[in-house]
Amino acid sequence: MAQARPTSGPMIETHDLQRTFRTRKSVVEAVRGVDLTVGTGEIFGFLGPNGAGKTTTLRMILGLIHPTAGNSTIGGVPYKQLHNPTTVVGAALEASSFHPARTGRNHLRILCAAAHLPDQRADEVLDLVGLHDAARRKVRGYSMGMRQRLGLAATLLGNPRILVLDEPANGLDPEGIRWLRGFFRHLAGEGRTVLVSSHLLNEVEEFADRVVILNRGQLVRQGSISELTAGTDTVLVRSPQPAALVEALRQAGVQPEQPDANTVRARGIEMEHVGHLAFTAGVELHELRTERFDLEELFFTLTEGAYSGQAMPQQVPPQPGLPPQGGAPWSG
């Protein structure tokens, strides 16, 4: 089959992507009709509970698993048709696929040899991820966070335009997570595309341009953080005159809730407007504040009950005959 080069336009796309696993006792629909579009220079968060189908979707994008139906492209072409894929996409799906007796530098130099890259590239990416001082240490002595950084270094060897990362913040301490956040922004600033699968919702909220939420193999919501949480903030008021405030809000077209005798909650209205209505109605206020509806609350609202019902596979075994092509530096 002829090789192709990626074209301009979206960096990652999937169309009606599906994957079904069959066992002797059951049929599991791991991914069901997922449509994604990830743009150039975008940091894209890929969210979902364990077993939601995130890793299976990433493996299909990277050509490690054949989809049951649908297709995926990187730069407009399937992964297997990429010319020199190491320079186009780098991926890390695990942080444990290292030989424990090799040093971090030697691990990367082996990948450089497989991808026809100069040895010096190993030192360059070690510097980029902050592992310069640990380059000559054996991987068996690396912490989980250091292994994550080594896996990230491997994805950067070919100076790719696209990174696909599965839970890259696992094992990182708060300082490491802050560094990773800044590093993602740096990569996006260079025009690179970063697709990140993560369960650290508050962190994703800090760095992602857009997110998609997957549940039981289906895409349930996607958009920017502001789009997903728009109109969901709640204004909370505590007052010794809740009945008068409730009436004022209803006259303004708002249907408030009263969770207890002295508390009123209202959605779809700004805090300043509530304060003005209270003032004009002569209502005494003891507390007035906005309760932010963040990504974490949205996530759990959309995926409530995700662990009940049909069980989903948490990890998908690699299938024979589908290795990464072109010496791409996978770490999973």
Class of domain 12-228: alpha beta
- Tokens of residue 192, six digits: 């690179």
pLDDT at 306 over 80: no
Contact 88, 164 (CB under 8 A): no
Which of residues 97 and 20 earns the better pLDDT score?
A: 20
Residues of the chain with CATH 3.40.50.300: 12-228
Report the C-alpha gap between 169 and 45 in whole angstroms.
Answer: 13
Q: What is the pTM of this model?
A: 0.72
Report the C-alpha gap between 8 and 2 in whole angstroms.
Answer: 19
Convert the pLDDT of each residue in 204-219 to its tens digit. Answer: 878 889 988 888 898 8
Q: What is the mean pLDDT of residues 138-143?
A: 93
Report the pLDDT value the prediction gives residue 110, as an integer from 0 to 100: 95
Report the pLDDT value the prediction gives residue 297, as an integer from 0 to 100: 66
pLDDT tier, 221 (very low <50, low <70, confident <90, very high otherwise): confident
CB neighbourhood size of 50 (10 A): 13
18: nearest Cα among 288, 217, 283: 217
Report the pLDDT value the prediction gives residue 242, as an integer from 0 to 100: 94
Report the pLDDT value the prediction gives residue 68, as an integer from 0 to 100: 96
Report the pLDDT value the prediction gives residue 174, as an integer from 0 to 100: 85
Residues of the chain with CATH 3.30.70.790: 233-292
Give 233-292's CATH code, choosing from 3.30.70.790, 3.40.50.720, 3.90.940.20, 3.40.50.620.
3.30.70.790
Report the pLDDT value the prediction gives residue 5, as an integer from 0 to 100: 42
Convert the pLDDT of each residue in 72-94 to its tens digit. Answer: 999 889 999 998 899 999 999 87
pLDDT at 113 over 60: yes
- Amino acid letter, residue 184: F
pLDDT at 254 over 60: yes
pLDDT tier, 145 (very low <50, low <70, confident <90, very high otherwise): confident
Give the 3-state secondary structure of residue 99.
coil
Report the C-alpha gap between 31 and 20 in whole angstroms.
Answer: 7
Torsion angles phi and psi, residue 98, rounded to 5 = -125, 145
DSSP state of 169: T
Buried-state track 27-45, b at ≥16 Cβ within 10 A, e below 16: ebbbbbebebbbebebbbb
Report the pLDDT value the prediction gives residue 230, as an integer from 0 to 100: 63
Strands 89-92 and 162-166: parallel
Report the C-alpha gap between 138 and 230 in whole angstroms.
Answer: 48
